[in-house]
Each structure stands twice: as C-alpha cells, then as structure tokens.
Amino acid sequence: MEESEIKKGLMGVTVDVTQISKVMPEINKLTYRGYTVNDLCDKCDFEETAYLLLNGNLPTTTQLQEFTDAEKANRNISKELKEAILNFPKASHPMDGLRTAISILGQEDDRVWDNTEGTNYNKFVMMYAKIPTIIAAIQRCKEGKEIIDPDETLTRTDNFFNMCFGKVPEPIIVKAFNVSQILYAEHSFNASTFTARVIASTTSDIYSAVTGAIGALKGPLHGGANEQVMHTLIEIAEPKHAAAWLDNAFKNKLKVMGFGHRVYKNGDSRVPEMKRWENKVADVKDGKKWMEISNILEDKMVSEKGIYPNLDFPAGPAYYMMGFEIEMFTPIFVMSRITGWAAHVIEQTNSNRLIRPLSFYEGEGIRTVTLVEKR
Ligand code: COA
C-alpha cells in the first residue's frame, strides 16, 4: 500500500452498512429509518423518534404508552450513584461526570456481559431514562443546590426542565427543546457513534460503548462545538463587533465553532429546522442580540469562505436562551444521541466483525539495542 492511498481521518471511507439513518448531502436531507427529520420534527414527539430509531418503525399508541411508561419507571438513580455525583469535583465538566455515571450504571448492572438484543434494549431504556436525571443532578450539585428527584407525572422533557430549574417552561420552549432532541438523535457513522461501534465490535458491553462515545462527543470538533458557539457569541458580545471578530479569525486561521462539516459541504440539513425554533426561543427569551450576531457570522462565513453552519450553531444559543449553563449543552446532546448510539451498538452486535484497521508505518527501521543506549 502507498502512503498516498491513506484516507486521513477516514475521509470518504465507507466502513459498513446501516439501516438506521441516511445522510444525503447532495439533496440536503437526513432520514431516520426512512423518515426525513423535518417530517419527524413536524409530526412527532422526541419519544416517538427514539422508539423509531431503536425499533425500526414508529410506535402504535399502545407501544408508545409502554415505551413512555418504561422510561418513567426507570428515571430514578441509586442512592450510591447519587452519592457519587455529590462527591464529583465541583469544577469538573458535566460530560466527565456523565461519563463516570454511565460507568457506574454498568457496574450496578449484573447483566453487564449479556449482549443479547433484548437485554441491550433494556439497558438502553435504563440509560435513556436515567441520563436526564444524572445530568440535572450533576448541574445542581455544581451549583450547590438540592437535587430534584424525577416526577413520574411529567413528560420526559417537562421532567428534565423541572429537575434542572424546579419548574416547567412555556410550551414553545418545550417544543423547541424537543425539536433539538429529534435533530440531535442520530447521524450515521459520526465520530462518537463510530467509537461506540468500535467498542461494541470487541464484544465489550453497551455501557463501555456509551462511555467511549461520550468521550468522543465531548471534543469541540464534535458535540462540544455547541458550547464553543456560545462562548464565541459571548466573546463577540455585540452585533457591531461580529464582522471584525470574524475578520480577525480569518486572519489568524482560527476554526469558527459551529461551522463546517465532514459530510455536508453545502449546508447541514438540520440547520433550517433548528434555526426556525431558535428564532422562536429568541422571541420569547429576549435573545434578539444573539440572533443578530449569529446572522452576521453566518452570512459572512458563507459568502466569504463558502462554509455553512452545522446544527451546533443554532442549538447552542437556543439552550443558552432556555436558561441552561453552557457546560450543560453537550450533556443535553447525549440525552438525545443515546438513542442513535444504542441503535448502532445493537446493529453492530447483530452483524459483528471486529473493527481493526491498518496503519502505514513510517518510524525507524529495525535496530538493535546497544549497551551505550541503555546506560
Ligand atoms: N472555521 C474556519 N475554517 C474552517 C472551518 C471552520 N469552522 N471548518 C472547515 N474550515 C476550513 C478548514 O480550515 C479547511 O481549510 P483549508 O483547506 O484551507 O485548510 C477546509 O475548511 C476543510 O476543513 P477540514 O477541517 O479539513 O474539514 P473536515 O471535514 O476535516 O472537518 C470539521 C470538519 C467539522 C471538524 C470542521 O469543519 C471544524 O473543525 N468545524 C468547527 C467545529 C464544529 O463546529 N464541529 C461540529 C461539527 S458537526
């Protein structure tokens, strides 16, 4: 093999087949199990989308009821996990806390080595139900506030807001949050999903796969970008500074967070949908300034560099305007992406072959240890 044949970053390499989602950059569409995400955002709740991703079809009324009942029944976390969360270093990032908490869930599960599809589905339901409880608890502990236990009478999203803030917001905020969760749920073989599949391919367990995926998602080139977008907007502070800020970024060849994508080179199919809801959030949460700065950045990036915003660009500021701390944005992404990861772990397990690529060695040739070197 020639070094020139290497696809750095696996750019353009197809590594396996999947039935879960299809990214179609040429027509700017993304489908989950054949449905466009736009159709799902218009007509479905996040819970229905989660069910679809895991089960292949949208649920009947009875199936949805069973799924939401199971989610509600699994929201509570053990007192040992709560204790661990109370002892997490206050300055640590909630993604690190969440990664540790998922490891603890694995340690608490005596079926950890059982990778049969039914058991992995049950483990998914557990994680899907407990992740909102875990991240709300982590954030409240960081702020020195009492943990609020889950409330079974509330929907998944209402309950999450209640555990974070002690109240449920207006319906338009809940809908915008649900749209963001639908859009964040799945995106084929992105870095974190591929990480989960690599771990699953060793026949390790789903908790390990999700723990690894969280580590991958945390990076600013992947899910962590939604936090960086808001840091950028805060640094710019006023619309009148936006153009000059961007010129300086161009001059210094800085990456502008929330822009660019490995697959979409002519725009991210999820952005218009999220932007529509971000605007609605801005209207009710006095966020006009953030929209103005965002619009200047977007227009200039597209016209001068031909680089389009990705989903993190509207999602991060939307979460900020909803009242979340910036370091909660990527954990909130996990609340949704757990669905895609679990679907991929199950798919990988069902048609498994160890993922183990090759590398092109360019280090030293064979040499012999000499006594001089050892001294
Ligand atoms: N800001 C400025 N320039 C960017 C850019 C950005 N956000 N994204 C890409 N570019 C430029 C690169 O500098 C590169 O220019 P060059 O050819 O002159 O060196 C070119 O566009 C290709 O980018 P590259 O980084 O090679 O593309 P990639 O497919 O490897 O990377 C990302 C994709 C997502 C990692 C990259 O666009 C990025 O770092 N974006 C910012 C982080 C982000 O928003 N991540 C969330 C992704 S959903």
Fold of 226-322: Cytochrome p450-Terp; domain 2 (1.10.230)
Fold of 9-223+324-350: Citrate Synthase; domain 1 (1.10.580)
Instruction: Quote the Cα angle for 275-293-178, to 5°.
Output: 25
Alpha helices for the chain (secondary structure H): 37-43, 46-55, 61-73, 79-86, 94-108, 117-142, 156-165, 171-184, 191-201, 206-217, 225-236, 239-251, 271-284, 288-300, 312-322, 329-350, 371-374
For residue 250, give the ligand 1 atom closest to its CA. 2
Ligand 1 near 262 CB (within 6 A): yes
Rounded CA-CA distance 314/275 in Å is 5
Residue with tokens 């009875």: 62
Ligand 1 near 242 CB (within 6 A): no
- Which of 190, 274, 307, 330 has most ligand 1 atoms within 8 Å of its beta carbon, as the pocket-test mutant? 307
Q: Give the CB-side neighbour count of residue 15, counting CA atoms within 13 A.
A: 21
Cα–Cα distances (Å) from 137 to 92, 149, 207, in that order, read 14, 8, 20
Residues identified as active-site: 261, 312
User: Residue 148 in contact with residue 140, Cβ under 8 Å?
Assistant: yes
Per-residue pLDDT of the chain (375 residues; tens, 9 = 90+): 777 889 999 999 999 999 999 999 988 899 999 999 999 999 999 999 999 999 999 999 999 999 999 999 999 999 999 999 999 999 999 999 999 999 999 999 999 999 999 999 999 999 999 999 999 999 999 999 999 999 999 999 999 999 999 999 999 999 999 999 999 999 999 999 999 999 999 999 999 999 999 999 999 999 999 999 999 999 999 999 999 999 999 999 999 999 999 999 889 999 999 999 999 999 999 999 999 999 999 999 999 999 999 999 999 999 999 999 999 999 999 999 999 999 999 999 999 999 999 999 999 999 999 877 766
User: What residue ranges of the chain are covered by domains with CATH 1.10.580.10?
Assistant: 9-223+324-350
**Single-letter amino acid, residue 204:** S
For residue 9, give the ligand 1 atom closest to its CA. 30
Q: What is the pLDDT of residue 335?
A: 98
- Picking from 65, 54, 61, the residue whose alpha carbon sits closest to that of residue 19 is 54
Q: What is the pLDDT of residue 47?
A: 98
Ligand 1 near 326 CB (within 6 A): no
Q: What is the pLDDT of residue 344?
A: 98
User: What residue ranges of the chain are covered by domains with CATH 1.10.230.10?
Assistant: 226-322
Ligand 1 near 256 CB (within 6 A): yes
Ligand 1 near 307 CB (within 6 A): yes
Centre of ligand 1 to C-alpha 61, Å, is: 43
In what order do the strands lie in the sheet containing 35-36? 21-24, 29-32, 35-36
Centre of ligand 1 to C-alpha 24, Å, is: 19
Rounded CA-CA distance 3/359 in Å is 9
Length of the chain: 375
